[in-house]
Amino acid sequence: MPGPGDAASGPRNEIAAGVGTGIVVSAQALTHGMIAFAPLGPAAAGFGLAAALAASVAAGLAATLFAASRPLIGTTTAATALVTAGMLAAAQPATAQAGVLLAMLLAVLAGALMLLLLAARLAPLATLIPAPVTVGMLNAIVVLVLLGQAPVAAGQPPGVGWQSDGLQPASLAVAGLAVLLMRRPVPLLPAPVAALAGACALHHLLAALGVGLGPVVGAAPTLARLAEGLHSAVAAAGQLPPAGDLTALLLPAALPLAILASVEGATAGAALRERSGRPGRPGRDLLACATGMLAGGLAGGAPATGLSSATLTCHRLGGRGRLAMALRAGVTALVLIAAGPLVAPLPYAALAGLLAGAVLPLFQGRMLWPGGGPHRARHLSDALVVATVTVTGAVLGLVAAVAAGVALSMVIFVVAMSRATIRRTIQNPTGRSRMRRPAGDATLLRNQGGRIVLVELEGAIFFGSAERIVTHAGRLRTGGAEMVILDLGRVTRIDMSGGLRLLELCRGAPGALLLAPLHPGARALAELESLGLAARLPAGTGFPSIAAAVEVAEDRLLADSRGTAHGDAMDGSAALAALGLPGAVHADVLSRMTPCAFGTGAAILRQGEAADRAFLLLQGDVVISIADASGREPTRLAVLAPGVLFGEAALLGGGRRSADATARGDVRCLRLTAADAEALRRQAPVAAWHLLEAVARQLAANLAVANRTLDQLEGDDGIRPGD
C-alpha cells in the first residue's frame, strides 16, 4: 500500500524520473570527479571525469540491486570527493597514475570498512552524529567547494590553484551565469543542463570575440580513456610507498570516508522514507552504499554513496521503484559511452559554477545566529559547534572537522547534563507531606520548616553531575538545612559513578539525606538495583514517595523540637488542648464524646455517606482519600496526625462525605455525633463556641497549607504518582 506522498507510479513516470535524474546526476558527477582528482593536475582531469561517471553508474546499479528504500540513488558526492582530494593532496604522489591508484585503494578500503561496520552492527551509529556537527560539516563542504573552485571559476585549470599570470577575469562571467541558472533554472530544462548549456554558449561567444578565457575540458571522458587510465594506474603499483607507510597514509582517510559515506547513505534513505511514508531497512541501504563504494573504487577511485538531493529529485519526478533507479544509472552510462565529445568543449569555469550553484543551498547560516528566548543557551552551544566544524573543515579538512565537532559536542553535553541535574530547590516543603497536624505542630513546622529542603533532580546522574549534587547538598547543610530530600522522580539514568557518590552522600550524613521516590517500578530504584547499590543504602534513607519522605522529615523535626515522637498517644484533654480549646471547657466537650477504636485498614468514613459524626484523633494515623472510578488506587489527599479533628462537616450542617477516611495502623478516636454537638450548643454554648472556633482555625490552616503547596508546585508538572 502506498504511503503518504507516495502515489502509484506507472512505467511512464518511472522512465521520466530515471532519465531526468540521470541527466542531473551525470552533470553533478562531472564536477565531483573534477574535485576528487584536482590535486593530480590538469593531466588527470579527463580521467577523473570518466572515473566519476563510472563510479556513479556502479553505485547506481548497487543501489538498484541491494537498497530497500526506493528510489535510493547511489552516486558520487561532493563531501566524499573532498575527502579523496584531501588524501591526494597530502600524499603528493610521484605521478598522476600513482595518485589514481591511491584513490582506488582509498575507496576500496573505505567500502571494506563500511561492510565491517555493517557486519558488526556499528554502521547505524554513524547516524548518531549530533545535528550541529552535520550542519557544520555541510557548511564546511560548501566553503571548501567554493574555495577550491574559485581559481577554476577565474580561469585556472583544476589543481593549479591561484596563479596571477593565468587569471582570466572574463571566466568569472561564465561561472556566474552557471550559478545563476542553477539557482533560477530555465523552465522545462534540468538546472544542470541549462547551466552547462548557457555557460558553455557564453564562453564560446566570448572566445569568438577574442576575450581571454580559461581552459575547456578538452579530453573527453570516455570508456577508452577510463580503461587506459586504469591500466596505467595498475602499472604504477611500484611507485607506491611501502606497505606500512601506505597503511598509515590510507587508513586515517578511509575510516572517516567510510563514516561520512555511511552518514550520507543513511540520511538519503531516511529522507526518502520520510517523504514516501514507506517503512525501510536501513541495513540494506547501507549495504548498497558500501557495495557502491567498493565498485566505485574498482571503477577508477571516485568515492560514491547514497545522495539525498538526487534521491529526493527522483522521487519528486515520479520515481518509485527499481526501474527508475536502473534507468538513472543507464543514462549516466550512456553519457560515459557516447557523450564524451559533448563534455570535451565544456569550460572548466562552467563546471565550477555548476558545482557552486549546487552546493550553495546546503549552507545553513541560520544556526550561526541564535536568537533570544528561553532556549538561548542551547542555541548558542549549537551555533558554537556549527561554527567550529565549519572553520575547522575549511582550514584542516572534513576529517578534523568531524572529530572536533563530536569532541566539542561531548564536552557541551557533559557540561549541560551536570548543570541541568538540579532542577529546583524548595525550602520548607512541609505541605508536600499532605499531613494535617494539630495547630501547634503546624505553626512549629511553618516557623522551623526551613530546616527541611527538597531538591528536585532531573536527567542523568553520572560522573559529571553527581559531584554537583554532592556540593549542593553540602552547601545546604552548611546553610542550616538539617534534612535534605533528593527528589529522583525525574532522573532518567544513574551510572556507577553517580550511584556511588549518592551512596557516599547518604552514608556521610545518616538520617540527614533522604531519597524518594524509590517505590517498585520507579526508574531511580531500578537504576540503583541494576548497579547493586539499592540494598546498600542506609536504613531510613529511601522512601516510596516524596510525601513519605517529607512526612518522616517533619516527624524528626517535631520530635527534636518538642521531645515527643510521632504517633505518641494523647488523652482527650491533650487532644482538645492541641485544637486550641481552653481547659475550662474540656470537661463539657469530653462529656459528649464517645471513645472508639479501629484496626489497620478499617473504614472510618465513606465517601457519599451522611455526615452525621466527627472524630477527634488520639492515636495512630488516618488517611483521607478519594476512590478512583476506574478501579485504580485511591488518590490520597491527606494523612491526619493525633490531635486533629476530622469529619467536621457534621458540625457545620451535615451533608454528604466528600472523601474516605481509613485507619493507617491501629487508631483510637473520640466520636462526636451531630446530635451531641447540638446538645452541647444548647447546654454549654461557650464550649460549643470554642469547638467551632477550633474547627474554623483548622480549616484555615488546611487552606494555608494547600496554598503553600500550590505555590511550591507552580510551574511543575504536578504531583507524580507515588507522591
Q: Domain locations in the chain? A: 12-358, 421-562, 572-713
pLDDT higher than 90, residue 711: no
Cα Rg of the chain, angstroms? 39
In this prediction, residues 226-250 reach a mean pLDDT of 89
- More reliable by pLDDT, 118 or 164: 118
d(CA 332, CA 520): 62
DSSP string for 108-166: HHHHHHHHHHHHTT-GGGGGGS-HHHHHHHHHHHHHHHHHHHHHHHTTPPTTT---GGG
Give the per-residue pLDDT at 716.
Answer: 46
pLDDT higher than 60, residue 472: yes
d(CA 346, CA 196): 7
Q: What's the pLDDT tens digit per position in 245-272?
A: 888 889 988 988 998 898 888 888 877 8
Give the per-residue pLDDT at 3.
Answer: 43
**Range of weakest confidence among 15-24, 373-382, 401-410:** 373-382
Here the cell at position 713 is 508546585
SS (H, E, C) 454-516: EEEEEEEECHHHHHHHHHHHHHHHHCCCCEEEEEEEEEEEECHHHHHHHHHHHHHCCCCEEEE
| Check whether domain 572-713 has CATH 2.60.120.10, yes or no | yes
Give the per-residue pLDDT at 7.
Answer: 46
Instruction: Fill in the amino acid letter for 190.
Output: P
Give the per-residue pLDDT at 370.
Answer: 65
**Residues facing residue 624 across a β-bridge:** 638, 661
Angle CA(49)–CA(52)–CA(56) in degrees, nearest 5? 140
In what helix (H) or strand (E) does residue 594 lie, and over which residues does it extend?
Answer: strand 594-598
Mean pLDDT of the chain, nearest integer: 85
Percent of the chain at pLDDT exceeding 90: 32
The pLDDT confidence band at residue 573, using thresholds 50, 70 and 90, is very high
Please give the backbone phi and psi of residue 631, each rounded to the nearest 5 degrees, phi first: 90, 0
In this prediction, residues 662-686 reach a mean pLDDT of 92
- 8 A C-beta contact, residue 136 and residue 389: yes
Give the per-residue pLDDT at 565.
Answer: 54
**Range of weakest confidence among 37-46, 618-627, 667-676:** 37-46
In this prediction, residues 633-641 reach a mean pLDDT of 81
Give the per-residue pLDDT at 38.
Answer: 86
Give the per-residue pLDDT at 37.
Answer: 92
Give the per-residue pLDDT at 537.
Answer: 92
Give the per-residue pLDDT at 357.
Answer: 86
pLDDT higher than 70, residue 372: no
- 8 A C-beta contact, residue 261 and residue 83: no
Q: Which residue, chain included where needed, has cell 446530635?
A: 675
Return the biggest CA–CA distance within the chain: 125
The pLDDT confidence band at residue 12, using thresholds 50, 70 and 90, is confident
Here the cell at position 420 is 541541568
**Residues facing residue 645 across a β-bridge:** 616
Give the per-residue pLDDT at 723.
Answer: 43
Q: What's the pLDDT tens digit per position in 33-57?
A: 988 998 888 778 889 999 999 999 9
Give the per-residue pLDDT at 124.
Answer: 58
The pLDDT confidence band at residue 438, using thresholds 50, 70 and 90, is confident
| Number of alpha helices (DSSP H) and beta strands (DSSP E) in the chain | 25, 13
Give residue 477's Cα distance to chain centre: 35
Give the per-residue pLDDT at 568.
Answer: 67
The pLDDT confidence band at residue 190, using thresholds 50, 70 and 90, is confident
d(CA 650, CA 612): 5
From residue 71, alpha-carbon distances to 77, 269, 273, 274, 307 in Å are 17, 9, 10, 13, 11
DSSP string for 505-573: HHHHSTTTEEEE---TT-HHHHHHHHTT-GGGSPTT-B-SSHHHHHHHHHHHHHHHHHS--TT----HH
Give the per-residue pLDDT at 720.
Answer: 40
Give the per-residue pLDDT at 629.
Answer: 67
The pLDDT confidence band at residue 2, using thresholds 50, 70 and 90, is very low
In this prediction, residues 376-402 reach a mean pLDDT of 81
**Range of weakest confidence among 128-132, 250-254, 260-264, 337-341:** 128-132
Q: What's the pLDDT tens digit per position in 522-569?
A: 999 999 999 889 999 999 899 998 988 998 898 888 888 766 555 567
Across 258-351, the runs of DSSP E, i.e. the strands, are 304-306
In this prediction, residues 489-496 reach a mean pLDDT of 88
Non-local CB neighbours of 447 within 8 Å, separated by 6+ positions: none
Closest by CA to 358, choosing from 209, 180, 515, is 180
Give the per-residue pLDDT at 400.
Answer: 80
Question: Would you put residue 174 in left (φ > 0), alpha (ψ -120 to 50) or beta?
Answer: alpha
In what helix (H) or strand (E) does residue 282 lie, and over which residues does it extend?
Answer: helix 282-298
In this prediction, residues 684-706 reach a mean pLDDT of 83
Give the per-residue pLDDT at 243.
Answer: 85
User: Does pTM top 0.85 for this prediction?
Assistant: no
Give the per-residue pLDDT at 563.
Answer: 61
* Domain 421-562: CATH superfamily, name plus number: STAS domain (3.30.750.24)
d(CA 170, CA 204): 12
How many residues in the chain?
723
In this prediction, residues 490-516 reach a mean pLDDT of 88
SS (H, E, C) 387-398: HHHHHHHHHHCH
- 8 A C-beta contact, residue 303 and residue 297: yes
d(CA 472, CA 483): 13
From residue 600, alpha-carbon distances to 84, 399, 497, 665 in Å are 78, 69, 42, 4
Indicate the SS3 state at residue 604. Answer: strand
d(CA 556, CA 540): 12
Indicate the SS3 state at residue 36. Answer: helix
pLDDT higher than 50, residue 1: no
d(CA 45, CA 57): 19
Give the per-residue pLDDT at 130.
Answer: 76
Give the per-residue pLDDT at 566.
Answer: 55
For 562, other C-beta atoms within 10 Å of its C-beta total: 12
pLDDT higher than 50, residue 6: no
d(CA 356, CA 205): 22
**Range of weakest confidence among 28-32, 201-205, 550-554, 650-654:** 650-654
The pLDDT confidence band at residue 636, using thresholds 50, 70 and 90, is confident
